[in-house]
Amino acid sequence: MIKKHLPNFFTLLNLFSGMIAVLMAATDELVLAAYFVFLGIFFDFFDGFFARKFKVQGELGKQLDSLADVVTSGVVPGIVMFQLMLYATKKKWFMEMSSETGSWQEPQEAFYFFIPFLGIIITLAAAYRLANFNIDERQTTSFIGLPTPAFSIFVLSLPLILVYSEYDLFAQALQNIYVLIGITLAGSYLMNAEIPLFSLKFKTYDWKGNEVKYVFLLATVGLLIGFKTVAIPLVIILYVLLSMVGNYIYKKRI
């Protein structure tokens, strides 16, 4: 009986972490929001792991998992991108803006009022992907389009780069509104694009047939050692590029 409900328990822990992350992101605590999203994605991994291990996959768990992911990997990155865009245009976070009387009503600043809301496109794209994922029977051993947790990790790494990175060039880029708009639109597209992407599930551990996965894991370790926080978005970009390379190799073989 416990085995049956264990995966759903981890899914609810994912949702719980996501809700805390929402509160942190909305109150300018973006670093804490990032940590709670990473914790939620950690729980998200184990709900699937235990569901497969105990063979208790079911429709309830499937729907609950997507609902939790909408919050952790959809709502939170949307709020964080809104905050980053707001800072890029006004050099202030949301709570700082809210405390200033009239700061949201000045007609001459209409551009800066509306632009940050583009970040919420991430939430819409994530919700659409998750709903589509539930009815797409092709995504059992691999993915079609960038998984929402992967792009969530990408977005939530950005405030960490602003706070902790030693590379000023990256921090400066993340304060450019056009860079942030580009990330938003590119990520939202990739989540719903018809691009096959590999998963890290291994049927065998032989080199042949798993070349791309092993290269990815080795490169990830190297990037993390060399670039630390900055490596996180680079790893996600590498994942997409290597998937495309893997698709090309597969087509050549057949």
198, 246 Cβ separation under 8 angstroms: yes
- Tally of structural domains, the chain: 1
Q: Is residue 66 part of a domain?
A: yes
Residue with more model confidence, 154 or 44: 154
Q: How far apart are CA 66 and CA 130, in angstroms?
A: 6
CA quadruple 32, 34, 39, 40: dihedral sign = positive
Number of DSSP helices (H) and strands (E) in the chain, helices first: 12, 2
Q: How far apart are CA 45 and CA 153, in angstroms?
A: 14
Q: Is pLDDT of 7 > 60?
A: yes
> Which pLDDT band holds residue 237 (cuts at 50, 70, 90)?
very high
- Residue-wise pLDDT tens digits, 96-143: 776 554 555 554 455 567 899 999 999 999 999 999 988 877 766 678
Q: Is residue 217 part of a domain?
A: no
Q: Is pLDDT of 40 > 90?
A: yes
* Residues spanned by the domain of 102: 2-197
Mean pLDDT computed over 219-243: 92
48, 65 Cβ separation under 8 angstroms: yes
- Residue-wise pLDDT tens digits, 172-193: 889 999 999 999 999 999 999 9
Q: Is pLDDT of 152 > 60?
A: yes
Q: Is pLDDT of 61 > 90?
A: no
The answer to which of 55-59, 141-145, 214-218, 239-243 has the lowest mean pLDDT is 55-59
Rounded to the nearest integer, the mean pLDDT of the chain is 85
Q: Is residue 224 part of a domain?
A: no
Measured between alpha carbons, how far apart are the two ends of the chain, in Å? 46
158, 231 Cβ separation under 8 angstroms: no
> Which pLDDT band holds residue 208 (cuts at 50, 70, 90)?
confident
Residue with more model confidence, 162 or 246: 162
CATH number at residue 150: 1.20.120
Radius of gyration (C-alpha) of the chain in whole angstroms: 19
pLDDT the model gives residue 102: 52
CA distance readout (Å), 252 to 107, 245, 248: 57, 11, 6
pLDDT the model gives residue 79: 97
